[in-house]
Amino acid sequence: MVQLLIGIFLGITSFSTMSFASSPPSILASLKPLQLIVMSLQKPLLRHDIELEVSTLLPPGATPHDYVLKPSDIVRVLQADLILWMGPVVEPYLVSVIARADQNKVIDISQLAGLKRLAFRALLENGEGHEDDKHHEHEHGHDEMLQFDPHIWWSVDNAGVIAARVMTALDVKSDKSSIVTQAMQPVRALLANNKIKAMKQQPSFIIFHDGLQYLESDLGVVSAARVALDDDHRPGIKTLLALKQKVKVNQVVCVVAETNTNVSIIHKIEAATPLRQIVIDSLGWGRESYQDMLQQAYDKILACHS
């Protein structure tokens, strides 16, 4: 199915292409994981004497929901040969400058055909999910409601779709489908190996900030519970008791948190055995490649077994 989708993408001729006879094309990704996915094309493209210049717009530590562009950021967007972003709902700070850019050079990742889109999961404190809309509005800070979990880069299939779409924008005379296949082969092999590990010994963990649903889906694992945990949202006593019960019943080993998450409540939900805290940055900061980003996350999740 994925190969068919890639074939469809690479058969599309209506997209304008970039010519890079004089210099490598400048590709600007709004988020680090998008940059890492595009960079996976570099090695197979070098075999055809083609180089890419790929950079990230959002600086480390910033969030795509409320970042304020600097004048230099605007220049980078308008001068880039190709721009990848997650669309107006996820990245409202970019809307006005994207509108000024050449639309033939803009790819809205959230709108790509063939993309795997998973629905938001109910958080533990929301019970049956009746407050989900409030949570999503708070998290994404936009009047328009996001209809799916935006952390799509944790899906290897989605990475293939993104890489294929980038290839349609490149003026490459070689077999584009073959280049995408070569780029994705190492991460597909990595995923296959880790799926086998997950089947042998299922990890048990809870998540503070639900940003790894696509990774869980790829591995065939499911977190025991998800909780929103930030400065504006602290779980009440009812949620803490429910979380403590989840830890006990599911023999939870780890708490998975974001880089800056305050996990001071961890001792309130522990059972007989202390919980291990692991950190996985859903925006991939500090990682050198897409494969490296996946490997680190897989290793940490699969280590969460008793």
Yes or no: say if 156 and 293 are a contact pair by the CB < 8 Å rule: no
Yes or no: say if 20 and 50 are a contact pair by the CB < 8 Å rule: yes
Indicate whether 40 belongs to any domain: yes
Q: H-helix or E-strand containing 187?
A: helix 176-200
Mean predicted lDDT score pLDDT of the chain: 86
Report the predicted TM-score, pTM, of the whole model to 2 decimal places. Answer: 0.87
Angle subtended at Cα 285 by Cα 282 and Cα 288, rounded to the nearest 5 degrees = 120
Indicate whether 124 belongs to any domain: no
Average pLDDT over residues 132-143: 41
Residue with tokens 């890079």: 20
168 and 294 within one domain: no
Partners of residue 276 on adjacent β-strands: 254
182 and 74 within one domain: yes
| Range name among 177-186, 187-196, 238-247 with the lowest pLDDT average | 238-247
Indicate whether 298 belongs to any domain: yes
pLDDT at 265: 87
Average pLDDT over residues 97-108: 97
222 and 163 within one domain: no
CA of 125: how far to CAs of 18, 28, 65, 138, 233, in Å? 48, 38, 23, 15, 10
- Mapped onto helix, strand or coil, the DSSP state of residue 54 is strand
251 and 209 within one domain: yes
- Mapped onto helix, strand or coil, the DSSP state of residue 52 is coil
Q: How far apart are alpha carbons 262 and 268 in whole angstroms? A: 13
Indicate whether 245 belongs to any domain: yes
Q: How far apart are alpha carbons 85 and 94 in whole angstroms? A: 8
Judge whether residue 152 has pLDDT over 60.
Answer: yes
* Final residue in a domain of this structure, among 165, 187, 209: 187
* Final residue in a domain of this structure, among 147, 166, 187: 187
Give residue 150's pLDDT band: very low, low, confident or very high (50, 70, 90).
very high
169 and 65 within one domain: yes
Q: Would the CA dihedral through 108, 110, 113, 115 be positive or negative?
A: positive
Average pLDDT over residues 77-105: 96
51 and 183 within one domain: yes
Residue 228 belongs to domain spanning: 193-302
Give residue 22's pLDDT band: very low, low, confident or very high (50, 70, 90).
low
Indicate whether 294 belongs to any domain: yes
164 and 33 within one domain: yes
| Range name among 89-93, 142-146, 208-212 with the lowest pLDDT average | 142-146
pLDDT at 301: 97
pLDDT at 230: 65
Partners of residue 170 on adjacent β-strands: 18
Query: What angle, rounded to 10 degrees, do the helices at 2-11 and 156-169 form?
Result: 10
Yes or no: say if 210 and 238 are a contact pair by the CB < 8 Å rule: no
198 and 172 within one domain: no
Average pLDDT over residues 41-47: 93
* Final residue in a domain of this structure, among 187, 205, 234: 187
Tokens found for residue 206: 């809870």
Residue with tokens 């400065």: 231
271 and 175 within one domain: no
Q: Would the CA dihedral through 164, 32, 298, 117 be positive or negative?
A: negative
pLDDT at 231: 57
171 and 47 within one domain: yes
Q: Which of 58, 12, 34, 4 is nearest to 170 (CA)?
A: 12
pLDDT at 236: 81
| Range name among 47-56, 98-107, 233-242, 278-287 with the lowest pLDDT average | 233-242
CA of 60: how far to CAs of 56, 57, 63, 143, 286, in Å? 10, 10, 9, 26, 9
Indicate whether 239 belongs to any domain: yes
pLDDT at 103: 95
Q: How far apart are alpha carbons 143 and 229 in whole angstroms? A: 22
Average pLDDT over residues 244-255: 94
* Domain total in the chain: 2
Q: Would the CA dihedral through 255, 260, 266, 268 be positive or negative?
A: negative
174 and 254 within one domain: no
235 and 166 within one domain: no
Find the CATH number of the domain harbouring 182: 3.40.50.1980
Indicate whether 122 belongs to any domain: no
Q: Would the CA dihedral through 192, 51, 287, 281 be positive or negative?
A: negative
Indicate whether 102 belongs to any domain: yes
Greater model confidence, 61 or 111: 111
CA of 51: how far to CAs of 33, 42, 43, 268, in Å? 19, 7, 9, 52
